[in-house]
Amino acid sequence: MDETNRDEMQTHTNDQAQGLRTKFGRSFRVIAITSGKGGVGKSNITTNLALTLARDGRKVLLIDADLGMANCDVLMGLTPKHDLRHLLYEDVHIDECLSKGPEGVDLLSGGSGVAELTHLESEQKWRLLDALDPLGERYDTLLIDTGAGIGTNVQFFAGAAQDVVVVVGPEPTSLTDAYSTIKVLANRCGIRRVLVCINNVTTMAAARQVFRQLHSVTSRFLSVVVELAGWIPSDIHVEKAVMTQVPFTTAYPMAPASQGITRLAESILRRPPETGRAGGFQMFWKTLLASEEYVT
Amino acid sequence: MNMQTFRAATMREAMNMVKAELGAEAVLLSTRELGSGRVEIVAASDPQPKTSVPDFSRIARNTSPTAVSPEILNSMLTELQEMRMEIKQLRSEKSVARRSRQDWDRMVDELRDLASVMGIHGAEDAQAAPIITRLVRGGVEACLARTLVEQASQNARTASDTLWGVKQSLEDALSPAPAIWDSSSRSVAALIGPTGVGKTTTLAKIAAQATFYHGKKVALVAADTYRIGGTEQVKTYAELLGIPWMVAENRNALAGALKRFERADLVLVDTSGHSPWQDSGLAYLDTLTSGLPVERHLCVMANTDGADVSRMVERYRSGGVKSLVVTKTDEARRMGSMLSSVWGTDLQIAHLTTGQNVPEDITVPNAQKLTQAVLG
Ligand SMILES: Nc1nc2c(ncn2[C@@H]2O[C@H](COP(=O)(O)OP(=O)(O)OP(=O)(O)O)[C@@H](O)[C@H]2O)c(=O)[nH]1
Ligand SMILES: Nc1ncnc2c1ncn2[C@@H]1O[C@H](COP(=O)(O)OP(=O)(O)OP(=O)(O)O)[C@@H](O)[C@H]1O
Ligand SMILES: [Mg+2]
Ligand SMILES: [Mg+2]
Average pLDDT on A57-73 reads: 85
Report how far residue B107's alpha carbon sits from residue B215's, in angstroms, rounded to the nearest whole number.
Answer: 73
A9 has pLDDT over 60: no
Residue A60 lies in a domain: yes
B190 has pLDDT over 90: yes
Cβ of B356 below 6 Å from ligand 1: yes
Whether A217 and B29 lie within 8 Å, measured CB to CB:
yes
B364 has pLDDT over 80: yes
CA distances to A135, A284, B371 from A291, in Å: 21, 11, 32
Report how far residue B189's alpha carbon sits from residue B214's, in angstroms, rounded to the nearest whole number.
Answer: 16
B103 has pLDDT over 70: no
Dihedral of the CA atoms B214, B219, B221, B222 (nearest 10)? 80
A78 has pLDDT over 50: yes
B251 has pLDDT over 50: yes
Confidence (pLDDT) at B122: 36
CB pairs under 8 A between A and B: 104
Query: What would the pLDDT profile of B262-310 be if each residue is shown by its tens digit?
Result: 999 999 999 999 898 888 889 999 999 999 999 999 999 998 888 889 8
Confidence (pLDDT) at A145: 93
Is-contact B168 B201, C-beta < 8 A? no
Q: Supply the DSSP symbol for A118.
A: G
Confidence (pLDDT) at B55: 31
Average pLDDT on A211-220 reads: 88
- The highest-confidence range among A121-130, A205-214, B72-81, by mean pLDDT, is A205-214
- Which of B58, B357, B370 to probe the A interface (max A CBs under 10 A)? B357
Strands (DSSP E) contained in A22-102 are 29-35, 60-64, 98-100
Q: Where are the domains of chain B?
A: 2-86, 119-173, 187-375
Confidence of residue B119 (pLDDT cuts 50, 70, 90): very low
Confidence of residue B28 (pLDDT cuts 50, 70, 90): confident
Confidence (pLDDT) at A288: 65
Query: What would the pLDDT profile of B60-77 be if each residue is shown by its tens digit?
Result: 323 333 445 556 666 666
A194 has pLDDT over 90: yes
The angle formed by the CA atoms of residues B137, B167 and B125, to the nearest 5 degrees, is: 60
Check: pTM over 0.90? Answer yes or no: no
CA neighbor of B299 nearest in space, from B273, B332, B326, B274: B326
B161 has pLDDT over 80: yes
Report how far residue B326's alpha carbon sits from residue B344's, in angstroms, rounded to the nearest whole number.
Answer: 17
Considering chain B, what is the average pLDDT of its residues?
81
Tally the domains of chain A: 1
Confidence of residue B215 (pLDDT cuts 50, 70, 90): confident
Residue scoring higher pLDDT (A128 or B93): A128
Confidence (pLDDT) at B63: 33
Residue A18 lies in a domain: no
A143 has pLDDT over 50: yes
Confidence of residue A160 (pLDDT cuts 50, 70, 90): confident
Residue A37 lies in a domain: yes
Sorted by sequence, the CB contacts under 8 Å of residue B273 that are 6+ apart come out as B193, B194, B195, B196, B197, B199, B224, B227, B281
- Domain interval for residue A58: 27-291
Ligand 2: residues within 6 Å at CB? A 35, 38-44, 66, 69, 147-148, 199-200, 232, 234-235, 238-239, 242, 257
Question: For residue A12, how far is the Cα from the chain centroid?
Answer: 30
Residue scoring higher pLDDT (B40 or A121): B40
Confidence (pLDDT) at B51: 45
Give the DSSP letter string of B282-306.
Answer: HHHHHHHHTTS--EEEEEEETTS-H
Name the CATH superfamily, with its identifier, for domain B187-375: P-loop containing nucleotide triphosphate hydrolases (3.40.50.300)
Range of weakest confidence among A20-29, B58-67, B149-158, B314-323? B58-67
**CATH number of the domain enclosing A240:** 3.40.50.300
Confidence (pLDDT) at B307: 83
The amino acid occupying position A274 is: E
Q: What is the ipTM of this complex?
A: 0.72
Q: Supply the DSSP symbol for A273.
A: P
A257 has pLDDT over 90: yes
Whether B64 and A216 lie within 8 Å, measured CB to CB:
yes
Confidence (pLDDT) at B76: 65
Considering chain A, what is the average pLDDT of its residues?
81
Average pLDDT on B187-195 reads: 96
Report how far residue A173's alpha carbon sits from residue B96's, in angstroms, rounded to the nearest whole number.
Answer: 47
User: What residues in A contact B215, CB-CB < 8 Å?
Assistant: none
Cα Rg of chain A, angstroms: 19
Please state at what angle helix B70-92 crosses helix B101-118, rounded to 10 degrees.
Answer: 160
Is-contact B190 B269, C-beta < 8 A? yes
A23 to chain B, any CB pair closer than 8 A? The answer is: yes
Confidence of residue B15 (pLDDT cuts 50, 70, 90): confident
Is-contact B210 B266, C-beta < 8 A? yes
A180 to chain B, any CB pair closer than 8 A? The answer is: yes
Distance of CA A45 from the midpoint of ligand 2 (Å): 8
Residue A174 lies in a domain: yes
Confidence (pLDDT) at A3: 39
Tell me the residues surrounding ligand 4 (ion) with CB < 5 Å: B 199-200
Residue of A44, A74, A242, A261 to mutate, ligand 2, most atoms within 8 A of C-beta: A44
Whether B53 and A221 lie within 8 Å, measured CB to CB:
yes
Q: In what order do the strands lie in the sheet with B2-8?
A: B2-8, B39-45, B27-33
Helices and strands, number each (H, E), in chain A: 15, 8
Report how far residue B165's alpha carbon sits from residue B153's, in angstroms, rounded to the nearest whole number.
Answer: 7
Residue A11 lies in a domain: no
Question: Is beta strand B266-270 parallel, antiparallel or unpaired with respect to B39-45?
Answer: unpaired
Residue scoring higher pLDDT (A111 or A253): A253
Report how far residue B141's alpha carbon sits from residue B337's, in angstroms, rounded to the nearest whole number.
Answer: 8
Average pLDDT on B83-90 reads: 71
A190 to chain B, any CB pair closer than 8 A? The answer is: no
Residue A267 lies in a domain: yes
Average pLDDT on A155-166 reads: 85
Residue A211 lies in a domain: yes
Ligand 2 nearest-atom number relative to CA A66: 27
Ligand showing the shortest atom-to-Cα distance for residue A148: 2
B117 has pLDDT over 80: no
Whether B355 and A175 lie within 8 Å, measured CB to CB:
no
Ligand showing the shortest atom-to-Cα distance for residue B194: 1
Sorted by sequence, the CB contacts under 8 Å of residue B94 that are 6+ apart come out as none
CA neighbor of B317 nearest in space, from B287, B353, B283, B345: B345
The amino acid occupying position B6 is: F
